[in-house]
Every structure is written in structure tokens, then in C-alpha cells.
Amino acid sequence: MKSEGPKLVPFFKATCVYFVLWLPTSSPSWFSALIKCLPIFCLWVFLLAHGINFLVSHRSASRILAGLIFSAVGDAFLIWQEQGYFIHGLLMFAITHILYSSAFGMKPLDLKAGLLMGVVCSSCYAFLYSYLSGPFTYLVAVYIALIGFMGWRAVAGMQLCNDLWTWTKLSACIGAMLFMVSDLTIALNEFCFPVPYSRFIIMATYYAAQMLIALSAVESRDEENFRKRS
């Protein structure tokens, strides 16, 4: 973990820049899009710093990088959500969740975690349903299913009960949960009622989630290093 810290310094600086400038959503511009996406760009660099060969040889890491790329595109679309690009952003993040789910893998299955995540996501959708109309009735349902599936795979991979967890798997799990908190806050604020300090909650949990998921990509490198030392 200590060896990864210095590589994340640009990410922390870019995140501070975003919150210090706190660009208003009422006047979207390419500059505001750049500032919003800059922390995610830094996470690209974080993964690329581990080497192209590492990304090519480890599909989970390359899929997380691809997810970060789609996330940045989604962030840019959401800058112009009032101009009709909210659905475009939703689509980009849906693809992100598919890529992250693929990166986390299907082993172990852990059906109990899947059932619990299904109950949580169904409850969230049931609450949102009365506020939704038109295509959002179906789009939000699909989106919740995708992020819930991603959360399930992250939780299942941690294997806390079997004492097989690692810090990178824990990062993926916490990151997925924070992503769900961020997106739920967006949904409540967009479709239901104004959430106090919504922008701070959304962006703080979002950036933390992306950082933790990016950190989980170095799992395979840690395993390689352990085998070499053994």
C-alpha cells in the first residue's frame, strides 16, 4: 500500500483543485469539464505507471482502466446534463459498471451477498419508482441492476468470512459501496427532492470510489511480487 501512495499524489492534488474551484454547474464549459475529469485522468496515469505490459497481461487492470475512461466521458456529459446529456452520461457509467463487474470476476459466486445486494437495490428502486416517468422508469431500473451487480461482485471477491481478503479486494468493496452512495444521491437529487450538500456528497464519494477501485487493479501485481519473494 505504501508503494502506491506516491503515485496517487497527482490524483489528490487534482481533487483538491476541483473542490477549491467548485465550478458552478449553472455555467457548463470545457474548462469545468476538464477540472471535473482531471482526478480521473490522474487515475489513468496511476494505472499506466504500472507499465503497459502489466495492463496487457492482466485483464482486470485493463478493464478498470477502460472503466475509468468511460467514467471521464460520462463526467463530461453530465456537465451538460441540463442541455439534454444526462442520459448520455448514464449510458457511459452503465458501461463503466459492466467493465468493473468484469474486472472483479465471477469467482467466488457468493449467492448470499448477491441476494442481499438484490434486496438493497430493489428497495432503492421501489422508493424511486413513484418519482420516475417516461424512459427513466426503465433506464434507472437497468442502471440500478448494473451497479448492484457490480457491487455484488466486489463484495463477493473480498471473501471476508473465509479470511482470504486482501487490502486491494477491500478497496474494491469499499469503492463499489461508495459508488452506489454517490449514484443514489444523484438519483434522489435528480428525481425526488433536493439533497442538502448533494454536490459535495456526490463528488467526494465518487472520487473516493474511483480511487479505491483503481487501487484494486494492482492486486495481481502484489500476487506476482509475493510469488517472486517466495
Rounded distance between C-alpha atoms, residue 171 and residue 40, angstroms: 17
Rounded distance between C-alpha atoms, residue 190 and residue 192, angstroms: 6
Structure confidence at residue 9 (pLDDT): 95
Rounded distance between C-alpha atoms, residue 153 and residue 180, angstroms: 13
Our CA angle for 187, 158, 182, nearest 5°, is 15
Q: How confident is the model at residue 161 (pLDDT cuts 50, 70, 90)?
A: low
What percent of the chain has a predicted confidence (pLDDT) above 90?
Answer: 76
Based on its alpha-carbon atoms, the radius of gyration of the chain, rounded to whole angstroms, reads 18
pTM: 0.92
**What is the pLDDT averaged over residues 77-97?**
94
58 grid coordinates: 492482466
Rounded distance between C-alpha atoms, residue 176 and residue 155, angstroms: 8
pLDDT digits (tens, 9 = 90+) for 10-57: 999 999 999 998 765 557 889 999 999 999 999 999 999 988 898 988
List Cβ neighbours of 5 (8 Å cut-off, separation of 6 or more).
none
